[in-house]
Amino acid sequence: MRIAVLSDIHANLPALDAVLAALGEVDAIWHLGDVVGYGPHPDEVVARLRDVEAIGVRGNHDEAALGALDVTYFNPAARWAVEWTARRIAPETRAWLQDLPERLEIEKITLVHGSPRDPTWEYVTTTPAARANLAASATTQCLHGHTHIPIAWRDDDGHVEAVRPSDGFELVLDERRVLLNPGSVGQPRDGDRRASAMVLDTEARRVTWRRVEYPIAAVQADIRAAGLPAWLADRLATGD
């Protein structure tokens, strides 16, 4: 089975469409949450994911958009964007987000937004956090997002190795425990402004990272037209 793995789409429809086109024919589309938040197209992104029958989990921004979360923990600009999303989304978008579980296990692979031990919130950015979460995962392979940085954390006999993939990088999946992060479709933060995603091939037992150009200026215009904060548009241009 060839699976597109998408995370942190953040209501950026042109980035989602560019990634779906670039990855080509797949058997399934899995997402790792933060479908909405920050970006100007929450209803459109959810409609597209529904059309392509994507399955996935809930992120902290999805939860915030449902009003299920105390947003005083968000920084003021993020909070503003969260409240914009919560006000704007259609009832069917809300219902779709509401149905997302915080964790899924499919084909012996775990899907979470943050980490296996804290599915919605934890950022796995350090070796100690990766080590603890490799141990906490119920499956050998775990897919997660939240940091917006493409990376693989692999347990090699107690030594935790961080693999930083570039466009086209392939990682063979074996018996070693691994956390796989596809990076962000709609708001990359690793200094590369291109959308980031992953293709998982369960028969060939390998995963491939991809970077995809999309029309950033069009999204920036939609951000401005929606009255969302200007820093959101600036950030897309730099990818940080």
**Which residues sit at the interface with Zn ion, rule CB under 5 A?**
8, 34
Query: Which H or E element spans position 95?
Result: helix 91-98
List, edge to edge, every strand of the sheet that includes 2-6.
55-56, 28-31, 2-6, 195-201, 206-212, 170-172
Q: Which is nearer to Zn ion, 20 or 185 (CB)?
A: 185
Size (the chain), residues: 240
Interior angle at CA 213, CA 152 and CA 229, nearest 5: 90
Q: Which is nearer to Zn ion, 27 or 101 (CB)?
A: 101
Q: Which is nearer to Zn ion, 9 or 23 (CB)?
A: 9
Q: Which is nearer to Zn ion, 102 or 201 (CB)?
A: 102
Q: Which is nearer to Zn ion, 45 or 173 (CB)?
A: 45
Residue 189 beta carbon to Zn ion: minimum distance, rounded to whole angstroms: 9
For residues 125 and 110, give the distance between their C-alpha atoms in angstroms, rounded to a whole number.
Answer: 19
Residue 162 beta carbon to Zn ion: minimum distance, rounded to whole angstroms: 20
Q: Which two tokens stand for residue 60?
A: 């902290």
- Please state whether 158 falls in left (phi above 0), alpha (psi between -120 and 50) or beta: left
Residue 193 beta carbon to Zn ion: minimum distance, rounded to whole angstroms: 16
Residue 125 beta carbon to Zn ion: minimum distance, rounded to whole angstroms: 13
Burial 103-137 (b: 16+ CB within 10 A, else e): ebebeebbbbbbbbebbbebebeeeebbbbbbeeb
Give the residue at shortest CB distance from Zn ion: 34
Q: Which two tokens stand for residue 104?
A: 């899924």
Residue 201 beta carbon to Zn ion: minimum distance, rounded to whole angstroms: 25
φ and ψ at 109, to 5 degrees? Answer: -125, 135
Q: Which is nearer to Zn ion, 65 or 207 (CB)?
A: 65
Contact indicator for 15, 40 with CB cutoff of 8 Å: no
Residue 137 beta carbon to Zn ion: minimum distance, rounded to whole angstroms: 20
